[in-house]
Amino acid sequence: MTLIIRSKTVTTTTGQWHFVLHGGCSETCADADRQRETVENLRSVAESVSNALSQGATAKEVVVLAVAALEDCPTFNAGHGAALNEEGVHQLEAGIVDGATKAYGAVGLLETTKNPIRLANELLENGPHTIIVGRAADDLAKELGLETVPNSYFTTPFRITLSERSKGKKIVSGGSGTVGAVVLDSHGQLAAGGSTGGGTGKKDGRLGDTALLGAGLYADDRISVVCSGAGDEILKHSVAAAVAQYHSNGYNLRDAARQALAPVSQAGASCSVVALDANGESVVESNARHFPVSWGSSSTSPESLIHPTTIPVLQTHIFYQDNQLIIGHSRYPSTRGHTLAAFKTDVESLFDLSLDEFVRAMKAIRTVTSAVRKFYQVGRCALITEGKNVLSIWPLHGLGRDWKPITSDVKEYQKSFPGYISSYDGPMMASEQLDEICSKIRSVSGLSDPLNYRFDGPDDDNNLFARIIRGELSQWRVWEDDEHVAFLTPFPNTDGFTVLAPRAHLSSDVLSLEEQSYTKLMAAAHTVAGILMTAFGAERCGMIFEGFEINHAHIKLIPIHAPVDPPFDTVAPFHETYQGYVSSLQGPICPDCPGLVRTSQTLRQKIVAPESASPPRSWSDPSRHLLTVLQDPWYEVLFTVQDTLFHTSTDFFRKSHGYQYCLVPSTTDAVSSPMGLGSDSLPVSVSLLGQSTYLADSMQFALEYFLRIRDTVPGVYYISTSFRGEDHDARHVNQFHHVECELRGSFAQGIKIAEGYILNLVATLLRDHASLIQASTADGSGRLDHLTSLHDYAKSHGGRFPQIALDDALSLPTMQNTKAEIIWRPVSDSDSSKGRTLTPLGERRLLEHFGGGPVWVTEMDHLSVPFYQAYTDSARRKARCADLLLGSGEVLGLGERHVSADEVRHALNLHQVADKGKYKWYTDVRESKPLQTVGWGMGIERFLAWVFRHDDIRDLLIVPRLKGMSFAP
């Protein structure tokens, strides 16, 4: 395997210019020489790119330079080295987009133009059209004086071999393919471009995604994207544009790429994405086996490697997930039922996890392995990990009922990490060398003589490990505790190969040990692995459970000695039966992907689901609520999801948008919804230290104030408690929790940020807690379609949630008042001309009209909302604000604020606010610093009620505060 095993920022953000190049994704594994050639060619081009950028070249110029150079390398499926179609002809395509101007040019079906990217650039710069294909494009290249060649120029022996193999088969990919580049220059401008020969054996005249804007490439002033992979699927899902859209909606770069990749992965197709933003942050996301990339910046030297998949388990292959792990079938199986367990969060080193995190993950793997073992009808499973974020589980096929030793005759020894770990023995190591290694490890573990030779079993147990533990055999013990012993094997396949065994003679099937013994053994493994990593200066430690050499529970721990150069990948052979060893290498791609999907679905139904939870309504009995929270699974689920909501929110505001957090007070002399026309709550007055004041119904005013402190801050936010004085019911409580933000800009910008926040939050909850939420839907349905369909719902409305003005909503046939149903009510019972407002029933009716999906209600009558909302019209009758209806009704309220002090004074009079003096400071702020801002607040309990398909927010509070009721703590 290669160095990077997850998506990561591959450039720094301290330099002025940045770039990433790619050499096309592939599901095959070329030999080491071809992999080396690919990496070296990318590195050579990257050095040329660095030189050009350091001399002030523009992003667009560098994209042309890079892609043309890659087109000239016979290694890649672009230009010289391009694939052959079904007629044995090369038909090439390329595209380029300048993010600064959004100018774009593309060409396709070229047969004689040597460098398609140069012709695409000519179209971008000079026209006469944006896209030209076929003979006309080749003719244009000649007219423009670009170099042309015979079609045979593009042919290489490698492509001829692939073409011969593809005869009578569907389109195939082989070796490295499509090339592309994303660049941020020293002027702050972005560009993207790509070139390809398409899939081997493609139909004559076929165009792919590479050259098409929005599909295989995209660039604007904020982001540049290029893609490689299954072109038809990339086209179908507009992957490059989707990355940009998600990023625009507030997703970080990594999550934006992952979300855009999801539908392609779900279709079982290969796709890789490179994205670079205006801050110089770049990510590589790929569901393909190999993706050669190179990158550099003005502060880092160019680097190149073959990037492995960042999505070890495709969505359609998952059969278990919790808040830590995704577990599912490998699409590159080494044996039937080969399973991968991957951490959801970035895990550079397995043993850098806290002990609790590590043990929790290993317990989940043990549970799932039991189901895998039963499903595949095998006696046991092995576990292998290189100590990164992925662990392999192998069902061991072909074993007899009774244990007997099964070993491999293969011997190997590696001084440094060869790209995999295995359970192969090595040649016998000299005792002097073992002594030296033992001393090195003991210097960290602190182990010294006399050793504890207690064995928790009979003295006549002649098992090899029993005799070692009793001290009857020569050994190199490196660590021990009261229940375990760790020692070096004299047949290591690398230095420091250590065996960890319990003092008791337990079954060698580690994954089937009873829970207490298993948990203790995992804790010991965590300790010993940490010691080995420290002793050898290793960043990781491999781990293997296997058990067919010695019939005594043991774990093999293998320090990963970093190589000088990244090792190249190889493909493990597929074995129907256990061959006496296991390896972290994966096998060839599964020949029956649809069958693998079906098998995963079947196995998913057999895995024990998370414990179901439902609202206990303990708030209705304060005397029992305190202990119910500690005992009922509903509150554990709620506590977990609340934590994710908080951290996802802060990441969204701070990391994605640069907003600052505000520490706001919980009291105020000026509530944001004072009594008067448009008041939507009852203020809670208190006496604090002899002074009359209010508990804050919202600290929106404080956010408006904080936003004016620093001119460079784009927005501010907080997550805190708010208070209302009205009687509690299913939609109202007296103390609740708010996510609120205030930002510089317009009403439309506020809508965009709010929608991006909701979409991002839902995506994170699905990623981290889908099974938990599914087991805890309050209506018992277990349905998640209200969450899973949200992005597609927005997409079907032009990438946004639909909007409807209040007057238009009330003109709908289903929105008319009747004696039995009150859809709206007047703001003033005595004067209906003052405006109307929706009732809770009206909100539900409107949601039904929009198919249950979210909808914005806009342009409310000004007297139906608080005074601080901006006017939309000169008559000052309508407010520039909106309520987002979700689930049972309003969840998020948004509005643009008055800019001038005069507008505030007018609104205070219009709304008949009694104590206007308390808002003098609010007008003074505008006299000092007029500013157009927009803000919104979301009720956390209302949002979570929608998530859990519930209709009573009182169940969404761990510590309620309800009028007339007293709760501890």
The pLDDT tens digits for 267-290 are 889 999 999 999 999 999 999 999
pLDDT score for 768: 86
Reported as a pLDDT band with limits 50, 70 and 90, residue 841 is: very high
- Contact at 8 Å (CB) between 843 and 885? yes
pLDDT score for 7: 43
Average pLDDT over residues 379-391: 97
pLDDT score for 63: 99
Note whether 873 and 788 are same-domain residues: yes
How is residue 446 written in tokens? Answer: 């602190």
> Which one-letter amino acid corresponds to residue 84?
L
Question: Based on C-alpha coordinates, what's the Rg of the chain?
Answer: 32
Give the number of domains in the chain.
3
Q: Name which of 736, 731, 739 is nearest 757 in CA terms.
A: 739
Note whether 168 and 243 are same-domain residues: yes
Cα(267)–Cα(904) distance, rounded to whole angstroms? 54
The secondary structure of 539-563 as a DSSP string is S-EEEEE--SSSSS--EEEEE----
Note whether 391 and 418 are same-domain residues: yes
Average pLDDT over residues 50-59: 97
Cα(115)–Cα(672) distance, rounded to whole angstroms? 63
Domain end marker among 308, 343, 365:
308
Position 100 in a domain: no
- Contact at 8 Å (CB) between 243 and 222? no
The pLDDT tens digits for 613-668 are 999 999 999 999 999 999 999 999 999 999 999 999 999 999 899 999 999 999 99
Helices 622-631, 633-650: axis angle to 10 degrees equals 80
Q: Is the pLDDT of residue 225 over 70?
A: yes
The pLDDT tens digits for 926-935 are 999 999 999 9
Reported as a pLDDT band with limits 50, 70 and 90, residue 10 is: very low
Note whether 342 and 298 are same-domain residues: no
pLDDT score for 78: 96
- Contact at 8 Å (CB) between 422 and 410? no
Position 575 in a domain: no
The pLDDT tens digits for 812-833 are 999 999 888 999 999 888 787 8
Note whether 689 and 713 are same-domain residues: yes
Q: Is the pLDDT of residue 514 over 80?
A: yes
Alpha helices in 167-238 (DSSP H): 231-237
Element (H, E) at 84: none
| CATH number of the domain bearing residue 379 | 3.30.428.10
- Contact at 8 Å (CB) between 190 and 224? yes
> Which residues form the catalytic set?
178
Sign (positive/negative) of CA torsion 856, 861, 863, 869?
positive
Residue linked to tokens 């293997």: 544
The pLDDT tens digits for 106-165 are 999 999 999 999 999 999 999 889 999 999 999 999 999 999 999 999 999 999 988 888
Cα(969)–Cα(160) distance, rounded to whole angstroms? 75
Average pLDDT over residues 850-869: 94
- Three-state SS at 6: coil
Position 52 in a domain: yes
- Contact at 8 Å (CB) between 113 and 138? yes
The pLDDT tens digits for 150-203 are 999 999 999 998 888 877 665 544 445 799 999 999 999 999 999 999 999 999
Note whether 182 and 259 are same-domain residues: yes
Cα(98)–Cα(219) distance, rounded to whole angstroms? 6
Cα(157)–Cα(84) distance, rounded to whole angstroms? 11
Reported as a pLDDT band with limits 50, 70 and 90, residue 579 is: very high
Q: Is the pLDDT of residue 676 over 80?
A: no
pLDDT score for 489: 98
Position 125 in a domain: no
Note whether 337 and 222 are same-domain residues: no
> Which one-letter amino acid corresponds to residue 483?
E
State the first-to-last Cα distance of the chain, in angstroms, to the nearest integer: 52
Note whether 269 and 392 are same-domain residues: no
Q: Is the pLDDT of residue 6 over 60?
A: no
Position 455 in a domain: yes
pLDDT score for 165: 81
Q: Name which of 329, 284, 321, 287 is nearest 304 in CA terms.
A: 284
Position 659 in a domain: yes
Question: For residue 591, how many other CB atoms are within 10 A of its CB?
Answer: 9
Q: Is the pLDDT of residue 411 over 60?
A: yes
Sign (positive/negative) of CA torsion 299, 301, 304, 308?
negative
Domain coverage including residue 331: 315-559
Reported as a pLDDT band with limits 50, 70 and 90, residue 607 is: confident
Cα distances (angstroms) measured from residue 383 to each of 437, 484, 545: 26, 20, 5
Position 129 in a domain: no
Cα distances (angstroms) measured from residue 197 to each of 132, 291, 335: 16, 17, 34
- Contact at 8 Å (CB) between 677 and 828? yes
Helices 355-375, 515-536: axis angle to 10 degrees equals 120
Cα(920)–Cα(917) distance, rounded to whole angstroms? 5
Q: Is the pLDDT of residue 386 over 50?
A: yes
pLDDT score for 675: 64
Q: Is the pLDDT of residue 562 over 70?
A: yes
Q: Name which of 658, 660, 673, 649 is nearest 707 in CA terms.
A: 660
Note whether 791 and 927 are same-domain residues: yes
Q: Name which of 911, 923, 829 is nearest 877 in CA terms.
A: 911
Q: Quote the DSSP letter at residue 568.
A: P
Least confident of 426-435, 610-619, 633-642, 952-961: 610-619
Asked if omega into 969 is within 30° of 0 (cis), the reply is yes
How is residue 864 written in tokens? Answer: 């139906």
pTM of the model: 0.80
Note whether 769 and 871 are same-domain residues: yes
**What residues does 838 pair with on adjacent strands?**
824
Q: Is the pLDDT of residue 380 over 70?
A: yes
Domain end marker among 516, 544, 559:
559
Domain end marker among 532, 559, 586:
559
Note whether 706 and 780 are same-domain residues: yes
Note whether 295 and 334 are same-domain residues: no
| CATH number of the domain bearing residue 931 | 3.30.930.10
How is residue 170 written in tokens? Answer: 């569907």
Least confident of 510-524, 592-606, 947-961: 592-606
What's the mean per-residue pLDDT of the chain? 93
Position 578 in a domain: no
Average pLDDT over residues 301-324: 92
| CATH number of the domain bearing residue 166 | 3.60.20.30
Reported as a pLDDT band with limits 50, 70 and 90, residue 886 is: very high
Least confident of 9-18, 309-318, 324-333, 554-563: 9-18
